[in-house]
Every structure is written in structure tokens, then in C-alpha cells.
């Protein structure tokens, strides 16, 4: 088969596998096999740019092109729904429909109210051609490139699935709880402001300038409104079922109700069980099922008369504020924390809550001893949302002292500063404030950075206190004999620590860049910058404009990088790291190929053409992983002379291919 035909075949297969995986939840191949096919496709597409297809499954991986959003007018305005928190309003809605339909029987379709941001998807000739946000209802942002990275949204519909060639479907883009928690944990590690809830996170992500960032954050989408007269299906429920058949993600929990009681049953069930759903929902949407009846009921200026949203009340608790303490982070950011009497809120005991910043404390006019209301933002992070000021008089207790933000660092005593336009307060003493120094080292050794697993935060703390390390470059001066002794570290673990530090010298440049802890430079941005500039030397020379030319880098990041690289002590630190052997450029070989991506390879025996160490490097340079022992996960064994019989036996038992040196090199064409 020629390469062009193979591209078409791979695209078809990958679309099918995406469908099996994301919609049917029934993959027929392993993730590894999927990655292999995807890499094959991407390699072939690179070789044949004339075969470019905006809807190839490879666009899911995200493009490196940066984009600004163009505003587009909606085909028909995207209206919102009438909202209510009251059950009486639901009864009134039901009665209004009954009156409006003059006694004709009707059904109400009950569904989840997804808490994300609405999106309109336009398909032309079975292809996704445009995705637009709600915007002001009349015009929205064209976010097509970003939406294409959402794997549950079909890019290409099968022509024989029964769907019209051209139609519009609307729904909600969401960040699943799992992705949200992961993202916030990453942001916490970087001391960036956390997203208060998945909706804000989804919205921030969808507006990102880099679709690679979007792809990394794993958004999802549920569709709930199929539009168009060419679809011959007279009910909303029926249309949802069709959309599901065509390959869209549609909630499985849609139900038809025939009375107000059935509606309340649905509402009460989901008020409790919504916590088991993978995405955030904040209520229930009720829609008249028959489209013909919908038409008769019509619209008001703002919303349809045939639908209403019932919103769940957020759970609240009340407790007493006892103390406000302050934490100093790696970047020097000061976080005020409210310490309260323990209280039960939505299933967990809460006694501490972040107060975020000085302005929030002022807004709340907090006093020690205040009765405060707590809610869980996005159902997980407890937040003080108000103060019961009446309780101040009722309890007759004297009003405690007003909480005012500290003026000096609780750790090093330096006067604190606030930069214009920023909500956070900082301790500026980044050369000597202990939590900042320790925090930077902890970040440097963390898994996504230099991955020095043998060192943990406690060990860093102990070495810091013993005066062995002050900054990350000191790590590379440590000797085994420095480490054993005082804190009881045995020779073996001392050796392991030194080995781990030594090993980190192989960590690729993009992770070194992330490890430096430059403000606003997360993993994805660091990768983009590393690949764009290729070396620290080039990055040192980069102007703001050069930085802005890099995908995912805006004004804030560009100026942060520039400031960091202009500071004398950072220049010295980077020089010391470089002298110690830490990677300061992308090795050509690092980019050799992705032929072994997703594969785990075990090396056994001795070889003629390259040493074992060299083979290890070749595997890594081509995207593979080297493992020491054989398991089910092993892709193949690279066997030389004298491979142990027990290894051979195990490989044969697990059916793992054994290949020799020549075959391996032929595979890579080296």
C-alpha cells in the first residue's frame, strides 16, 4: 500500500478507535497500539503535507500554531433558560405548559444541567467545521481549533450513520472532576491561583491561545440540543438518542416524566447522586418533549417557554472563626488561612479554609469570633462566603479584633509587598526566606521536574537545616560522605541519593526549564519554550518579541521569563547547574524519532555494535522506555549474547517478542 492510501486508512481506523474508546467505552486495542497508529499517522502526515486534513484524528494532539479568536454570528441566537431554585416555580412551569397546550397530553424530558460553558457545533458535509462559544448569545468566539482537541466530539461523522450531512448541535464543554483536580494540584505546586470550580477551569482552558494546552487539560463535552428541520424526529428525547447513535456524547440519565411528582422524583434523586457523576452539574433542565408542542409554546425575548432550569442549592454550614494564619509559598506568595471550629459540610469535616488574599478579608470584614458561612466552591474546596453579622449582636459577645492582613513575613520578618494589578501579597526576600528557598528545591526535585525520587521534602528540609544545601545547584556538589552520619542516613541510602542526583543530569532541557520554577512557566509552557529556542543560550538572548513568538507565551509569561533570566543570581545558578552537567539544550538525538513511543523495552545480554548504555540511550532517544525486568507491559526484548535462560523462559511464557541487535537497528534504520 502506498503511503497516501495508508494515511487514509489510518485516519479511518483511528476515528473508529476513538469512537470505541470514548463513546462506547469499549476499546478494541490497547492504548499502546493506539499510540503506535497515531505516531505512524503523524509521521506520514509530516512527510505528505499535501494530504493535510483539518479533521484528521491527529489534530486531537493539539496544534502548535497560536490563534486569536474570531467572532462569529450564531445561526440562531443561543438563548439561556429561565432559572429557579424553587419547587413551586417548577409546579407553576408545569401548570403553564398544561394551560398553554390546552389540556393536550405532554411529556417533560428531564436532564442534567451541566455546569460548564455552552458551545455550538456546526457540521458540514459530515465534518466539524466550526465550534463557537455562546458569547453574548448573538455572537460568540470561534474556538474550533481548541474544540477539536476534545476527544468526545466527533470530527468526522460516518456518512452511513443516518445523520444529515449539514446540521448544528449544541451542548456544554466541561472539565471533568478528575482533570480539574489534577490541574489545580499542578497549579498549587506552581503557586498559581487555583480555579474555583471546573466551569471556570473549562472556560479558561477553552479560551487558551494554544490548543496544545487545551489538549493537555482533557476537556469533555455533553450535547443536549440537536437543531435543524432536516432531522425527521418529532421529539427532543428521540433526537438525543439519534445524536448518541451518531457518535456524540449524550447523557445516559435523560428521563421522560409524565407528572410533577415524577419530575420531583428525578430532581431529588439527582440532588444526591450527582456527586457520583464524572462532571459538575448544578441543576436539572426540564424540556417539553414534543418539538411541535415546543413550537406552539414559543419563546420570550430571553428564553424558551417550553423549558426551565431548576438549580440545586449549594450546601452551607456555619461555624466560628478562631484564628487567621499565614503560609509562605515557594514564590513568596502569602496565603491567609482561616482556622475555624470543625463543622460538617457536604460530607467532610472542615476546619480550615483559604482566604485567598487581602482584598477578600477586607470584603468580608472579618473579625475573630465571627460566625462565618462556608460553602464548597465546585463542591470540593471550602470557602467562606459570608459573615452572620447579626450573630455579633445576638450572642452578646464582644466583637473580636478585626482581621487585618499581616505586614511582615511570618517566616523571615521582611516587610511584605503587593505588586500593582495583583491580588496576592509577597515576601520579597527570595534570597533568604527559608520556605521560599526550600520550596524552590522541593519543586526542582519533584517528579515532573528533575524527578530526583531518592530525595523527598523531609530530606531537603533536613539538609537545608544542616546547611548542606541553600539552592538547587548545591545538590550537585553533595558527596556521599556529606550525607551519612548526623541524620542517621545509612551509606546505602546516601549512595542512592547521590545516584538519583547524578541520574537527573539526563533529564531533558524542557524539564530543567520547568524545574527552575520561573513564575507562570508550567510544564506545557516549558516544553513549548524549550522546543522553540532549543537551548538556554538562545533563551538568554531572546527578546520579549522573540518570546511572544513562542506558542502559549503571552505578555505575562514573556516578561516573567525575561526578568528571571536577567537576574544575576539566576544567571549564576544556571551556570553552576550547567557546569555540573545538567542539560541546557535539546540534544539532537532527543528528537531522533518517536518510533518507539509508548514501548517498554528490556535489554538483556551483551552486544557487538553498541554498548548496553548506548542502547538504553537509543531507546530513550526514540521515545521508548527502558525497563529492567520483564512483565506483561514489556513490548519486546532486545537480546544480545548470553541472555539469561530464566529471562528467556519468562519472555516465552508471556509471549513477548525477542529481537536481536540487527533486527532492532533495522527497525530504527540506524
Find the shortest distance in angstroms from Cβ 303 to ligand IVH. 7
> Which cell goes with 324?
487567621
Site string for ligand IVH, 141-180 (x = CB under 6 A): -------------------------------x--------
Identify any residues that bridge with 225 across adjacent strands, giving them in sequence order.
170
By CB under 6 A, name the one of 66, 118, 197, 210 that touches ligand IVH. 118
Angle at 475 between CA 470 and CA 477, to 5 degrees: 105
Q: Among positive and negative, which fits the CA dihedral 634, 640, 645, 646?
A: negative
**Catalytic residue selected from 113, 242, 376, 438:** 113
The residue whose grid cell reads 455550538 is: 120
For ligand IVH, the closer CB: 131 or 307: 307
Residue 111 interacts with ligand IVH (CB under 6 A): yes or no: yes
Strands (E), 388-466: 417-418, 425-426
Annotated active-site residue 113? The verdict is yes
Dihedral angle at the C-alpha atoms of 53, 55, 59, 63, nearest 10 degrees? 70
Cell 459540610 identifies what position? 345
Query: Can residue 319 be called a binding residue for ligand IVH (CB under 6 A)?
Result: no
CB of 277 to ligand IVH, least distance (A): 12
Distance CA 633, CA 650 (A): 13
Q: How far is the CB of 171 from ligand IVH (least distance, A)?
A: 8
Q: Are 253 and 220 in contact (CB under 8 A)?
A: no
Partners of 44 in beta bridges? none
Going by C-alpha positions, the residue among 82, 47, 42 that lies closest to residue 64 is: 42
Q: Which of 110, 285, 334, 472 binds ligand IVH (CB under 6 A)?
A: 285
Residues 326-365 that bind ligand IVH (CB under 6 A): none
Nearer to ligand IVH, 205 or 604 (CB): 205
Helix or strand (DSSP H, E) at 350: strand 348-354
The only residue of 27, 204, 304, 369 in contact with ligand IVH, by rule CB under 6 A: 304
> Which residue lies nearer to ligand IVH by CB, 193 or 303?
303
At closest approach, how far in Å is the CB of 526 from ligand IVH?
34
User: Which window, 185-193, 269-277, 304-312, 537-545, contacts ligand IVH (CB under 6 A)?
Assistant: 304-312
Q: Is 669 exposed, middle or buried (0-12, 13-18, 19+ CB in 10 A)?
A: exposed
Spatial CB neighbours of 468, under 8 Å, sequence gap ≥ 6: 474, 478, 482, 483
Radius of gyration for the chain, computed over Cα atoms and rounded to the nearest angstrom: 29
Residue 297 half-sphere exposure, CB side, CA atoms within 13 Å? 26
Instruction: In angstroms, give the least distance from the CB of 193 to ligand IVH.
Output: 25
Q: Which of 15, 17, 39, 113 binds ligand IVH (CB under 6 A)?
A: 113
From the CB of 79, what's the least distance to ligand IVH, in Å? 5
Residues 413-452 contacting ligand IVH, CB under 6 A: none
Figure out which of the listed residues 189, 206, 309, 515 binds ligand IVH, where binding follows CB under 6 A: 309
DSSP 13-52: HHHHHHIIIIISS--SS-HHHHHHHHHHHHHHHHH-GGG-
φ, ψ for residue 45, nearest 5 deg: -65, -35
Contacts of 545 by beta carbon, 8 Å cutoff, 6+ apart? none
- CB atoms closer than 10 angstroms to residue 546: 16
Closest to ligand IVH by CB, 379 or 661: 379
Least Cβ distance, residue 372 to ligand IVH (angstroms): 30
Site string for ligand IVH, 218-257 (x = CB under 6 A): ------xx--------------------------------
Binders of ligand IVH among residues 28 to 87 (CB under 6 A) are 79-81
Nearer to ligand IVH, 113 or 511 (CB): 113
Shorter beta-carbon distance to ligand IVH: residue 253 or 505: 253
Catalytic residue list: 113
Binding site for ligand IVH (CB under 6 A): 79-81, 111-114, 118, 172, 224-225, 285, 304, 307, 309
Amino acid at each position: 500500500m502506498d503511503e497516501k492510501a495508508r494515511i487514509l486508512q489510518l485516519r479511518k481506523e483511528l476515528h473508529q478507535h476513538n469512537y470505541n474508546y470514548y463513546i462506547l467505552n469499549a476499546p478494541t486495542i490497547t492504548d499502546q497500539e493506539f499510540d503506535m497508529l497515531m505516531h505512524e499517522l503523524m509521521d506520514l502526515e509530516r512527510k505528505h503535507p499535501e494530504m493535510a486534513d483539518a479533521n484528521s484524528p491527529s489534530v486531537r494532539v493539539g496544534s502548535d500554531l497560536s490563534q486569536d479568536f474570531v467572532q462569529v454570528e450564531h445561526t440562531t441566537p443561543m438563548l439561556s433558560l429561565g432559572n429557579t431554585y424553587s419547587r413551586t416555580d417548577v409546579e407553576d412551569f408545569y401548570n403553564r405548559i398544561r394551560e398553554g397546550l390546552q389540556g393536550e397530553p405532554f411529556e417533560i424530558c428531564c436532564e442534567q444541567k451541566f455546569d460548564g460553558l455552552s458551545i455550538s457545533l456546526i457540521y458540514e458535509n459530515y465534518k466539524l467545521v466550526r465550534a463557537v462559544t455562546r458569547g453574548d448569545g448573538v455572537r460568540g468566539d470561534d474556538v474550533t481549533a481548541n474544540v477539536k482537541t476534545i476527544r468526545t466530539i466527533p470530527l468526522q461523522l460516518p456518512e452511513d450513520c443516518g445523520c444529515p450531512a449539514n446540521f448544528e448541535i449544541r451542548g456544554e464543554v466541561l472539565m471533568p472532576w478528575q482533570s480539574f483536580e489534577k490541574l489545580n494540584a499542578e497549579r498549587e505546586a506552581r503557586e498559581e491561583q487555583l480555579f474555583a470550580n471546573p466551569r471556570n477551569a473549562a472556560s479558561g482552558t477553552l479560551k487558551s491561545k494554544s490548543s496544545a494546552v487545551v489538549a493537555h487539560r482533557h476537556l469533555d463535552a455533553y450535547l443536549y440540543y440537536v437543531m435543524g428541520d432536516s432531522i425527521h424526529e418529532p421529539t427532543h428525547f428521540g433526537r438525543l438518542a439519534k445524536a448518541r447513535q451518531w457518535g456524540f456524547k449524550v447523557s445516559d440519565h435523560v428521563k421522560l416524566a409524565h407528572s410533577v411528582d415524577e419530575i420531583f422524583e428525578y430532581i431529588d434523586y439527582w440532588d444526591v447522586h450527582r456527586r457520583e457523576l464524572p462532571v459538575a452539574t448544578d441543576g436539572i433542565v426540564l424540556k417539553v418533549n414534543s418539538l411541535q408542542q415546543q413550537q406552539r409554546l414559543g419563546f420570550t425575548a430571553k428564553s424558551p417557554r417550553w423549558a426551565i432550569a431548576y438549580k440545586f442549592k449549594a450546601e452551607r454550614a456555619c461555624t466560628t472563626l478562631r484564628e487567621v494564619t499565614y503560609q509562605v509559598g515557594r514564590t513568596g506568595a502569602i496565603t491567609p488561612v482561616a482556622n475555624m471550629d470543625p463543622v460538617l459540610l457536604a460530607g467532610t469535616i472542615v476546619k480550615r479554609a483559604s482566604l485567598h488574599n487581602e482584598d477578600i478579608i477586607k470584603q468580608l470584614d472579618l473579625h475573630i469570633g465571627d460566625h462565618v458561612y462556608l460553602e464548597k466552591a465546585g463542591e470540593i474546596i471550602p470557602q467562606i462566603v459570608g459573615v452572620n453579622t447579626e450573630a455579633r449582636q445576638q450572642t452578646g459577645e464582644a466583637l473580636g479584633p478585626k482581621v487585618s492582613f499581616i505586614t511582615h513575613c511570618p517566616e523571615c520578618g521582611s516587610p511584605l509587598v503587593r505588586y500593582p494589578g495583583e491580588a496576592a501579597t509577597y515576601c520579597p526576600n527570595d534570597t533568604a526566606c527559608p520556605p521560599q528557598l526550600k520550596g524552590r528545591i522541593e519543586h526542582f526535585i519533584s517528579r515532573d521536574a528533575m524527578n530526583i525520587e531518592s530525595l523527598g521534602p523531609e530530606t531537603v528540609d533536613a539538609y537545608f537545616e544542616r546547611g548542606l544545601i541553600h539552592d538547587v545547584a548545591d545538590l550537585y556538589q553533595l558527596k556521599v560522605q556529606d550525607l551519612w552520619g548526623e541524620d542517621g542516613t545509612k551509606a546505602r541510602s546516601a549512595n542512592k541519593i547521590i545516584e538519583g542526583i547524578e541520574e537527573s543530569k539526563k533529564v531533558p532541557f524542557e524539564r530543567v526549564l520547568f524545574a527552575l520554577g520561573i513564575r507562570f512557566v508550567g510544564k506545557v509552557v516549558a516544553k513549548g519554550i524549550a522546543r522553540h529556542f532549543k537551548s538556554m543560550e538562545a533563551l538568554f538572548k531572546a527578546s520579549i518579541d522573540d518570546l511572544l513568538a513562542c506558542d502559549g507565551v503571552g505578555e505575562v509569561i514573556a516578561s516573567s521569563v525575561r526578568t528571571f533570566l536577567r537576574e544575576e543570581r539566576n544567571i549564576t545558578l544556571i551556570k553552576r547547574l550547567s557546569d555540573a552537567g545538567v542539560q541546557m539544550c535539546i540534544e539532537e538525538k532527543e528528537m531522533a524519532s518517536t518510533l518507539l513511543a509508548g514501548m517498554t523495552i528490556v535489554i538483556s545480554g551483551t552486544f557487538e555494535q553498541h554498548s548496553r548504555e548506548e542502547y538504553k540511550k537509543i531507546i530513550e532517544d526514540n521515545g521508548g522506555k527502558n525497563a529492567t525486568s520483564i512483565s506483561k507491559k514489556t513490548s519486546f526484548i532486545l537480546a544480545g549474547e548470553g541472555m539469561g535462560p530464566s529471562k528467556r523462559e519468562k519472555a516465552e511464557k508471556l509471549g513477548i517478542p525477542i529481537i536481536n541487535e540487527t533486527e532492532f537497528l533495522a527497525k530504527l534504520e540506524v
